[in-house]
Structures are given as structure tokens and as C-alpha cells.
Amino acid sequence: MWNSKDIYYVSDSTGILSTNLGQSLLCQFPEIHFHEEQFPFIRSVKEARATLKYILKNSGGRSPIIFSTIMLPEVLKVFDTPEVELFDMYVAFLDRLERSLEVQPLRLPGFYRHTDNVSISKRVEAIHYTLEHDDGTKIDELDDADVILVGVSRSGKTPASVYLATQMGLKAANFPLTIEFLTQYSLPEAIKRNINRTVGLTTSPEMLRKVREKRYAASNYAKLVTCLEELDQAKNIFLKNKIPVVNTEGKSIEETATQIMQEIGLSRKT
């Protein structure tokens, strides 16, 4: 068994796909230490040869692994050498799709990104909306939101909102349940009007206390009893208004965002 391994992500575009897919596979081998490097925008045979030369020199004959999303056959062929372990991330899928669809693929580097101007425009619009409607700002404009997140202070509303906008292209507004609403077990009319697009966020009292302590140490706001009371009040508000709830404790932002979308039947905008 290898104790360590050199990993290289080589792409003719940004390299995000090769890196994400490669790392999702490598995480299944936690006992091995991986040294990782990225080589994006490798689009010529000359660049490929220079990259391979660097890889072989720095790996010292230790059979480095290359995860590739290079489309051009002549460029990819440079890395197809016994000195490395080449994993072509496209070959298993693109060739099979070609046979299934009975048509040849374009095999153009980064073609999706080049033709994605409409998606980019929507995503930029979503980001602007989300930043302008953070923490209860402009609640009179919530009718335009794709999703509205509500919860007590520091329950993870802003990070989830930003992720939904930047990665999913969704206009995400968020509203903090302050003492005024918690004690009256109420919600603003703008949220009630859009309750079918509203998701409640919660966490454990211990986690909430830990997060609040980092900003306001030794404050009443950060006391465990305060966190317990506010979370319980928020829970009752969610139940009263039949708002689906996502618990953010122990979850990554990606997991939280995906669950939010599932709760209200949203799909990623493309």
C-alpha cells in the first residue's frame, strides 16, 4: 500500500471538474496522504509535453496519478504513458453517450462555459438579489425570491443564501427571527405571503452557543439558556406556519443548500 501519492489534475479548461471528481474519489482512501497540483488550460501538445515533463521530474518515478478532463485527443495522448496512471474522466461517459445518441460529440474544450452566458447572467442577478436581501433587508421585495430562509441569529442563513445564489443561481433572501417575532410567535406578512417558498434553519443549542461565543463572548446572547429558548421559540413558529425545517448542525453548506432545495421542490437553475 502507498503511504503517499502524487496527484495531478490536468484540464483544457478551469480544472474544476477534474479536481472535484478526483477528490471525491480520493477521499475514499483516508489512510493515504495525497500531494495535489492543478494544471488548467492545457490546450496544445507543447503545453501538454511541458506539463508531463514537470510531473515526471517532481514525482521521481513514483507512478503519479493524473485526472484529466482534456477533450482534444492529440493533447490527451501526451499523458497516455506507462510512467503515469492516467484517468480520463470523459472517456467512460462521452464515448458511451456517442454510441447511445448515435452522433459524434463536439469535443471542444470548455464549450459549456463558453455557451453559458444566459446562465451566468441569471447567476449574477441572483447574487445581487441575495446580497441586497440579507438579514431581513428589503422584506417588501420578497415576492421576487426563489427561496426565503428564516431562523434565529447565527443559524447559518447567510452562508446558505450566498451558496444558493452563487452555485445554484437562486435568488435567496433571509430573515432573522429577532426577539420581537420570537416572543410573539409571529412572522412578517411578506413571509406569510410567500410561505410556500420559505424554509426554516435550526441547529443544536450547543452549536449555536459555540458560534455566538466567537463573536460575543460571555454575553447573554451567547448563553446556552438563551440559545435553548430562542431555538424552541423558532421551532414553534415553524410548526405554526407549517414551514419545513433544515438542521444545519454537522452539515456542509453544500448539504444544507441541497436539502433546502429538496424541501420546497426547487431544482438547480441552468
Supply the CATH number for residue 193's domain.
3.40.50
Residue 183's pLDDT is what?
97
> Residues 130, 239: one domain?
yes
Residues facing 175 on adjacent strands: 150
Question: Does residue 68 form part of some domain?
Answer: yes
Q: Give the amino acid at 151.
A: G
Place of cell 514525482: 59
Taking residues 74-92, what's their average pLDDT? 92
> Residues 93, 179: one domain?
no
> Residues 15, 93: one domain?
yes
Place of cell 497516455: 80
Lowest mean pLDDT among 31-45, 79-93, 130-144, 207-221: 79-93
- Average pLDDT of the chain is 91
- pLDDT tens digits, one per residue of 164-205: 998 889 999 999 999 999 999 999 999 999 999 999 999 999
Q: Which of 63, 98, 114 is the last residue of a domain?
A: 114
> Residues 152, 218: one domain?
yes
The domain in which residue 166 lies consists of 117-263
Question: Does residue 269 form part of some domain?
Answer: no
- pLDDT tens digits, one per residue of 49-76: 999 999 999 998 889 999 999 989 999 9
> Residues 220, 124: one domain?
yes
3-state class of 32 per DSSP? coil
- pLDDT tens digits, one per residue of 223-262: 999 999 999 999 999 999 999 999 999 999 999 999 999 9
Count: domains in the chain: 2
In this structure, how many other beta carbons lie within 10 angstroms of the beta carbon of residue 203? 23
Dump strand ranges (E) for 101-207: 147-151, 172-176, 198-202
> Residues 43, 75: one domain?
yes
- pTM of the predicted structure, to 2 decimals: 0.66
Give the helix ranges, DSSP H, for 169-204.
179-184, 189-192
Q: Which of 75, 99, 114 is the last residue of a domain?
A: 114
Q: Which of 114, 135, 153 is the last residue of a domain?
A: 114
> Residues 84, 100: one domain?
yes
